[in-house]
Structure 1
Amino acid sequence: MAYKWWLWQVGIMILITTTHQDEVVADSVEQPWQTVAEEGASLNRTLKFRFPRAPHLRVAAESWPPHVQVEAVSETTVDHERHRGLTVVRGPMADFLRELAASLNFTYSIVQGDGYWGAPDSNGTWNGMIGMVLRKEVDFGLGPFGLSHQRSQVVDFTMPILRELLHVLVTRPRPQADPWGFLSPFTWKVWVGVLGSLLMVAATMTTLHLGAHGSSFTTHLWTCYQIFVSQILIMHLHHVAIGAGWMGEGVLLRLTFGALTSLLAVKAVPIKYDSLRDVLDDPSLTLLMEGSTALTGLLQKAEDGVYGELAVAVKQRGVRMRASQLQEAAYTHLPGGTHAMFLETPPQTPGGCLSSLQPLIDARIAPVTTCFVFLRILAVREFGLHAVWTRRQTPNISHCLKMPTKLKFQEPYSILHLWAVFLLAAAGMLLASLVFLCELFLYHYSFTSA
């Protein structure tokens, strides 16, 4: 099972560190570790900076495979004895958080929220991880987060680490046999050219045989048609040029007919949805998307254009869900062909993938520890560490990056698959029968008249 992807490019963030200073929060007292970080930033030793005494930070995180997977460690787990009863994270972003903690010398605990990234309600109250940061329930949020102007008014973001694309996932139709596939290689202009070539060759042969007994344009045109349809031709050639031309034409036609015949075994995959417009024009599709994301924030303010239409469609036939529910929803609803899913990262499993692309993310952040996080994220990007972490989390990532363009099916062909060929054959037989009856009638009429 595979899905089509395309659409709109969106920035994604790594961490939300702190709120803006003018934001009203529950606790405006600066933490000790923030004071130490500010003092370290003034020394201009950003890469060498480490907290003298490791502070303990609270990190908000939500499951969003393959980037982040939040798990509650069971009490029966042997390998995580010291973490019994706590919440842990896995995935590329968890690896980044672990390396960042080791580099800056801090410990952390994971706090799971309501399952959303963060968006304001009608009263202006933020939910999700952004709301947790604003209420000082956590020190920062572990993304990746989508950057939007609305979010940037209340929180600060890190610098880019990856680039992410927004996808629309729909069911890829099964390959279907095209009864008229043998005509596909040639456009109508080519067929007109073939007809013109037959007429030109017939005219040339008529010119070369002027005055010969039984030589006429219709006779030579019929001869050219015999060669074109690979019929047996018994004729004495008096010109080497004509013989060589017929031989080359026969070889070329054999190759062409072989290619056309082989196309009968080729199945085509009809692409019903190839753009956002196609999705919007199908009112039967139910639209699935994450709630409280940068995209939903954009749709709240979109009034015209294609995104304005998308906002209306989401209100009428959209279903919003948590990020952790997307993968299950993809396997449950998409195969039926009645749903389309909007998301940044296609859902994947260790044994397969649901899309042809596993893109990276882009990000941007900021304040108290900006200088420290900036250079460390830059190092992660330059040395390709995130790609290594992603491959470790998703072993089939190279397969998902480039889906096969050819699908193999062991399915016998039926008359329904080849009805166009039989239709042409029947039409030819019917035409031949009519011509034969006309010849009999004319012969009988001429004989009676005589």
Structure 2
Amino acid sequence: MIVNLVRREAAGHTSVYAMQNVRIINGLTGLQVNPWGFLLPLTALVWAATLGSLLWVLTILNTLSFLPTNATSRASFCSVRVLLQQDVVWPAQWWWWERLVHGLWMLTVLVLAKSYAGNLMSLLAVRYVPQPFQTLRDVLDHPSVAMIWQKLSSYEQYIRSVKSGVFREVADLEKEGRLKFHTQAQYLTSLDTLVREGDHALVDAAISLRSLIALDFSQKGRCDFYISRDGFMPSLASMWSQKTNPLIHAFNKRIGRLSEQGLITYWMENVPNFTECDNIPKKMLVTSSISASNIWGVFVLLGGGVVAGLAVWCLEVFVKPCKEH
């Protein structure tokens, strides 16, 4: 049993034989495609540096006052066309330094575009395995997911007695119907019917969750669940008896020997397929062809650009007659 203050006042316990953290288990919903994956080949810093370089080029082309206005505006717009992979016309009246700036800018965009295209093709062949719930805050912020904790445990006792903090928020979920308490005997059924669908998250000691996943793997032959990376509520486990029981001292010696020999850890992890689902990959490489579900984000971005362009065009058509009058 877990050691806590209330239990120590009521009974006696042996020396600690295990220390464990509480973690979260949730169902894997299968491989998914990120429709906005075309933005991932470049980090936010690279996007910012690219736009900053474009502004720097535009600044150079527009700050020299001795150039004619028409030539300057035409040269500035060509820099944007280069970034958008459009054709560029080289007017004969351009100065040599103007051609040099555009040449360097074109080389920069060429390297950027080739790197982007290569990484994008690799990225489209990758599917990611969503594992959204890594902390209690992740579950709390998801309004459609409920928590399952062990019934009549030290965890339930702590949740019901805490006055503030994140665990107070967990306790408040019971009013919303998002907090449930199940016994360990109900865990396998809860795992198969509730947690597997992804709308419930089971919270318990990591050793118990790994054993449940191992049992499920033995039955189904696949890994359908994942355990959160972050652990919380570290706790100590020991054997319990009456406070005045003289056998506690004898148990302490034997527990020490068993711990030194590693037998307690061996017994706790002696479950078939205990480590089969420990390292579930977050990403998987597939060889399927590109479909609309892979790249619909590109068409959304394209449609948004077309709508914005039409809006600007309509505004120009409306404003021009007004200026003439």
Alignment of 1:75-224 (within 5 A): 145-184=1-40, 185-187=42-44, 191=47, 193-204=49-60, 216-224=71-79
> Matches of 1:431 and 1:311 in 2, distance apart?
48
* One-letter amino acid matched to 2:79: C
Correspondence for 2:247 among 369, 381, 386: 369
CA shift in 2, pair 1:292/1:258, >3 Å: same
> Matches of 1:423 and 1:164 in 2, distance apart?
47
Alignment of 1:32-47 (within 5 A): none
* One-letter amino acid matched to 1:162: A
> Matches of 1:266 and 1:259 in 2, distance apart?
11
Contact 1:356 1:402 in 2 (8 A): no
Correspondence for 1:382 among 260, 272, 277: 260
TM-fit CA distance, 1:302: 3.4
Correspondence for 2:187 among 305, 321, 326: 326
Larger radius of gyration: 1
1:395 aligns with 2:256: no
Alignment of 1:234-253 (within 5 A): 235=90, 242=101, 243=103, 246-253=106-113
Deviations 1:79-129 (A, max 9, x none): xxxxxxxxxxxxxxxxxxxxxxxxxxxxxxxxxxxxxxxxxxxxxxxxxxx
CA shift in 2, pair 1:229/1:172, >3 Å: same
Contact 2:27 2:195 in 1 (8 A): yes
1:275 aligns with 2:131: no
TM-fit CA distance, 1:365: 5.3
Q: Match for residue 167 of structure 2?
A: 307
TM-fit CA distance, 1:251: 1.8
Unaligned runs of 5+ in 1: 1-144, 440-450
Q: Match for residue 225 of structure 1?
A: 80
CA shift in 2, pair 1:202/1:261, >3 Å: farther
Contact 1:159 1:374 in 2 (8 A): yes
1:293 aligns with 2:153: yes
TM-fit CA distance, 1:330: 0.6
Contact 1:147 1:363 in 2 (8 A): yes
Q: More displaced, 243-252 or 202-211?
A: 202-211
Residue 400 of structure 1: SS of its match in structure 2?
A: coil
Q: Match for residue 226 of structure 2?
A: 355
CA shift in 2, pair 1:402/1:362, >3 Å: farther
Residue 237 of structure 2: SS of its match in structure 1?
A: coil
TM-fit CA distance, 1:286: 4.7
> Matches of 1:418 and 1:328 in 2, distance apart?
39
Residue 149 of structure 2: SS of its match in structure 1?
A: strand
Deviations 1:289-339 (A, max 9, x none): 332221223244334444344345447735444322212321122123333
CA shift in 2, pair 1:201/1:355, >3 Å: closer
CA shift in 2, pair 1:217/1:395, >3 Å: same
Residue 163 of structure 1: SS of its match in structure 2?
A: strand
Q: Match for residue 335 of structure 1?
A: 196
CA shift in 2, pair 1:436/1:376, >3 Å: same
TM-fit CA distance, 1:282: 5.5
Contact 1:178 1:266 in 2 (8 A): no
Contact 2:22 2:204 in 1 (8 A): yes
CA shift in 2, pair 1:225/1:258, >3 Å: farther
Contact 1:160 1:361 in 2 (8 A): no
Q: Match for residue 323 of structure 2?
A: none
CA shift in 2, pair 1:357/1:395, >3 Å: farther
- Whose relative contact order is higher, 1 or 2, with alpha carbons under 8 Å and at least 6 apart? 2
* One-letter amino acid matched to 2:80: Y
Q: Match for residue 406 of structure 1?
A: 283
* One-letter amino acid matched to 1:381: S
Deviations 1:369-421 (A, max 9, x none): 34443343333333433444455424342x43333222456665543542332
Count of paired positions: 293
* One-letter amino acid matched to 1:290: Q
Unaligned runs of 5+ in 2: 317-325
TM-score norm. by structure 2 comes to 0.67
Contact 1:179 1:264 in 2 (8 A): no
TM-score norm. by structure 1 comes to 0.51
Deviations 1:111-170 (A, max 9, x none): xxxxxxxxxxxxxxxxxxxxxxxxxxxxxxxxxx12222222232222222222223333
TM-fit CA distance, 1:254: 2.0
Give the structure with the higher percent helix.
Answer: 2
Deviations 1:406-443 (A, max 9, x none): 2456665543542332244455567788999999xxxx
Contact 1:198 1:225 in 2 (8 A): yes
> Matches of 2:278 and 2:148 in 1, distance apart?
23
Contact 1:287 1:314 in 2 (8 A): no
Contact 2:148 2:200 in 1 (8 A): yes
Contact 2:129 2:281 in 1 (8 A): no
Q: Alpha carbon RMSD of aligned pairs, Å?
A: 4.4
> Matches of 2:159 and 2:39 in 1, distance apart?
45
Contact 2:128 2:284 in 1 (8 A): no
Deviations 1:227-248 (A, max 9, x none): 3223355659956965455334
